[in-house]
Structure 1
């Protein structure tokens, strides 16, 4: 018994020196203690609920020791202390954002650690983020996309938390990010009482701007009822501080703007020099909203569409090379053999299409339209994977040029007005499609660089 007492006192002395190392952010002292007692950190990790050295360093903003402790014992970052908080939770609570960003970079899954009441760091920052802190919320979302799926013990998402805490800045960032990554279905998720985000916004102290923003979303169903059999409109209408324009928004599912205002907002191109959080709050452009309608989440469905589009392009290209009736094999310039006898063949040139007149125009128009649509679908699937699919896009451009060249040379009359109109229209359309694809990719690349710069990790967003 007497022999064990000095050992216990020695361990306590080392733990006191460990606290001193954390307090002075001294990595050398930390490693000296580990050399003296190789089981020092092992003893601290046996207790399932305790304030580990990483908890203490994160809360006090001791960056060097916190990072060294994470390297030595990564499991400390996932442990909860007796109050139910992880080191990242504590760093957020004490506004030690440099440590938060470092932990997030070293292990993105720390954003998903469930603490007290199932609250993750994403939930916490969604409820507390103000002013510059919303930038950290945007970085969380970009670093760990799947963290948006996490629920609290009340089955609430981060959007529920932002609305419940009347945090309009965080709500705008969340809504903009969900729109751009095609995850607005999360707005329809229900908490333990069956309340969607819209129900929460209409309850208690109503959030008028949030309600109007949610009502305008295509994926938000304003007729959904909670477990009390009430819609968001029914909850909002009985509130003494309701606003009639918000009621109208819920009833009409989006108000009609004047043409000029709508035109400006539809084609408004956001400034990519904005911060990441500000970028997410900018209204979606026409192209971004169009992409939502064409976005297909199921991989098998996308593959089927791509295969069918490829077959369409092949069939229409082959039809342009081998039109109905084929091509003349020889040339003939005399329609009459004598003054009374009609020739069996009309004037023609070798290598020109036998089909002529309205039938030729109809065939060329429909075939070119089908070819153009198939090209658009293939490019739409290729542009997001650029520059890896750059060769595919170049091949499509060469294929389109060859297609329209064959149309140009196939008409009998070089000055045929119908030929010039058809070829001109579809050539311009194809040029616009390729030009638009390049422009979309350049914009996406700039956004990608902005997002990846905040993520500081290798991989696609």
Structure 2
């Protein structure tokens, strides 16, 4: 008599993945009744993602909760790119799924994929503000993590033109001047990047923040350029002129001119740190700013 047990297991596994695509909890329950070990056998299959990865990616909240209840260890599994289910849910902006995954294991916030991206990086790249809030509440220090290319969440928000997310991070980190003025592997600050990408609104926002304006003359490692120098490498049109006007009005100078005795002291980066260009209002503590941003806006 032919042994059909292997065939049945394969059929059940395929059915499990189809259920994860559909978010069908009833199908999951039925499969668990037929084979109580079905979720434990996932690692023996050739699939690179678990059913939890699929459910998280598609935003199937109830199916995600059902899987976590039956096998909570699935939250720790990574796919072929080193991504957890939390990476995928964060990238897609599924806030409730993210909350469920965090309840299962908060430390998944710190797991990096093959490009050293944590879930917070992916949420920043897509501008998913509500997901970002949940991830920062779970692990506040994750904000300082960088990816393979030296980009932190601020750099990623600018690279992917997610201004609302950028504002959230800057508000959260406003008392950490080193962080908001941090540089990527090429020595670019977020102001450098915003100029490179012609993001006029982002440039205006960054220069409205005293903590960033004080360091607006920072130089990168490629060409030792300030943001104004970078702007002059761009194609010259109306937008170019507007960006130049914004930078010059904020006191941003050219690298070659910064040490000139004919220029006012505001062009010296260290002098700017000691003497703010704009008088600041008394700073709230990070906690109070965070609370106000989340709950009073």
How far apart are residue 177 of structure 1 and its match? 0.3
- In 2: Cα distance, 1:108 partner to 1:13 partner: 34
How far apart are residue 49 of structure 1 and its match? 6.9
- In 1: Cα distance, 2:185 partner to 2:165 partner: 22
Does the Cα contact within 8 Å between 1:70 and 1:76 map onto a contact in 2?
yes
- In 2: Cα distance, 1:128 partner to 1:105 partner: 23
**Gap change, CA 1:136 and 1:105, over 3 Å in 2:** same
How far apart are residue 157 of structure 1 and its match? 0.1
How far apart are residue 230 of structure 1 and its match? 1.9
Cα deviation 1:57-101 (Å, max 9, x = unaligned): 222332222112223333322333235543223334444332122
**Gap change, CA 1:212 and 1:93, over 3 Å in 2:** same
Give the one of 49, 52, 65 matched to 1:51.
Answer: 49
Give the one of 181, 204, 210 matched to 2:197.
Answer: 204
- In 1: Cα distance, 2:70 partner to 2:290 partner: 36
User: Partner of 2:5 in structure 1?
Assistant: 7
- In 1: Cα distance, 2:137 partner to 2:248 partner: 34
Q: Output the TM-score relative to the length of structure 2.
A: 0.73
How far apart are residue 158 of structure 1 and its match? 0.5
DSSP-derived class of the 2:5 partner = helix
- In 2: Cα distance, 1:214 partner to 1:287 partner: 12
Give the one of 162, 167, 173 matched to 2:168.
Answer: 173
User: Partner of 1:308 in structure 2?
Assistant: none
Cα deviation 1:399-425 (Å, max 9, x = unaligned): xxxxxxxxxxxxxxxxxxxxxxxxxxx
User: Partner of 2:141 in structure 1?
Assistant: 146
**Gap change, CA 1:49 and 1:234, over 3 Å in 2:** farther
- In 2: Cα distance, 1:195 partner to 1:89 partner: 26
Q: Which runs of 5+ in 1 are unaligned?
A: 257-261, 267-285, 293-442, 454-461
Give the one of 148, 152, 177 matched to 1:157.
Answer: 152
Q: Which runs of 5+ in 2 are unaligned?
A: 253-265, 267-271
**Gap change, CA 1:36 and 1:122, over 3 Å in 2:** same
Q: CA RMSD in A?
A: 3.4
- In 2: Cα distance, 1:184 partner to 1:190 partner: 12
Does the Cα contact within 8 Å between 2:228 and 2:247 map onto a contact in 1?
no
DSSP-derived class of the 1:42 partner = coil
- In 1: Cα distance, 2:208 partner to 2:70 partner: 46
Does the Cα contact within 8 Å between 1:214 and 1:220 map onto a contact in 2?
no
- In 2: Cα distance, 1:34 partner to 1:78 partner: 21
How far apart are residue 170 of structure 1 and its match? 1.2
Q: Could you say which structure has the greater relative contact order, defined with CA pairs below 8 angstroms and 6 or more residues apart?
A: 2
Count the aligned residue pairs: 265
Does the Cα contact within 8 Å between 1:49 and 1:79 map onto a contact in 2?
no
- In 2: Cα distance, 1:175 partner to 1:232 partner: 19
Does the Cα contact within 8 Å between 1:164 and 1:200 map onto a contact in 2?
yes
- Map 1:240-259 to 2 at 5 A: 240=236, 241=240, 242-251=243-252, 252=266
